[in-house]
Amino acid sequence: MDTRVNTDLPYYEASGNEIELFEHAWKNRLPLLIKGPTGVGKTRFVAHMAARLKLPLHTVACHDDLTAADLVGRHLIGDGETVWCDGPLTRAVREGGICYLDEVVEARKDTTVVLHPLADDRRVLPIDRTGELLEAPPGFMLVISYNPGYQNFLKGLKPSTRQRFVSMRFDFPSAEREQKVLIGETACDPMLATRLVNIGRSLRALKDVDLEEVVSTRLLVYAATLIRDGLDPVESCRAAIVESLTDDIETADALMEVVNATFGR
């Protein structure tokens, strides 16, 4: 769980009105749901907005074993006494910051129910173990995200939860925006950025290759970083893109054909 107060503005290349929408939601005390594929900038966007609004950011990477106590807090024993320790959700409420639950559908449904009183007009957090009822200050904002590509009847977001949120959709960026992201993130040569973006778009367009996820902008950034540091471009793409997408040797070979064609091998 990552907690920090943002002072510098993390790099972010806007694609539409998402910055304006986020600011309006925060100003009007509305919770926000961000949905989109892996690696398209959801987490970076939240970090950017927290810094832009000068708010503390509490990030939780959700998983199957996440409990309500992990979010709210628990009593701990230390030095012969029992003390209460706030969880990241409680700290965000007390501080008037942003609590960001990444991939919220990975958490158990009985865990996410704890969000309901904060995600409607009540904006309160009951803490049963301490008897507190915390009222969220104006600066507090609840933000959650998930990847609809992984949704099914076992990994969905309950309607009673999702209808408490203003929602926005993220998708893979346009070629021009993706090039700007690569250059902005890695200071790589524009020609290299163009080649990597072309690889990404070609791999996403493949129809006869079985991949759970297509190549993300994040992986293209990794490849650009390795190449800029002096590693061979083809080997950089193999390590940062191809081997991260598949364990199947034949599928990897098919993806490498695109890489080799791009870099003239």
> pLDDT digits over 69-109, tens only?
999 999 898 777 888 999 999 999 999 999 999 999 888 87
Q: Output the pLDDT for position 150.
A: 61
What average pLDDT score do residues 48-58 get? 97
What average pLDDT score do residues 142-169 get? 82
> pLDDT digits over 165-176, tens only?
999 999 999 999
CA distance 157 to 145: 10
Structure confidence at residue 264 as a pLDDT band (50, 70, 90): confident
Q: Output the pLDDT for position 4.
A: 45
- The CATH-assigned architecture of domain 2-169 is 3-Layer(aba) Sandwich (3.40)
Tokens of 229: 């540091």
Asked if pLDDT for residue 6 goes beyond 70, the answer is no
More confident residue, 222 or 211: 222
pTM to 2 decimals? 0.87
Q: Output the pLDDT for position 154.
A: 52
Secondary structure, 3-state, the chain: CEEEECCCCCCCCCCCCHHHHHHHHHHCCCCEEEECCCCCCHHHHHHHHHHHCCCEEEEEECCCCCCHHHHHEEEEEECCEEEEEECHHHHHHHHCCEEEEECHHHCCHHHHHHHHHHCCCCCEEEECCCCEEEECCCCCEEEEEECHHHCCCCCCCCHHHHCCCEEEECCCCCHHHHHHHHHHHHCCCHHHHHHHHHHHHHHHHCCCCCCCCCCCHHHHHHHHHHHHCCCCHHHHHHHHHHHHHCCCHHHHHHHHHHHHHHCCC
How does the average pLDDT of the chain come out, rounded?
91
For the chain, the domains span 2-169, 175-262
Tokens of 43: 């987490």
> pLDDT digits over 214-245, tens only?
999 999 999 999 999 999 999 999 999 999 99
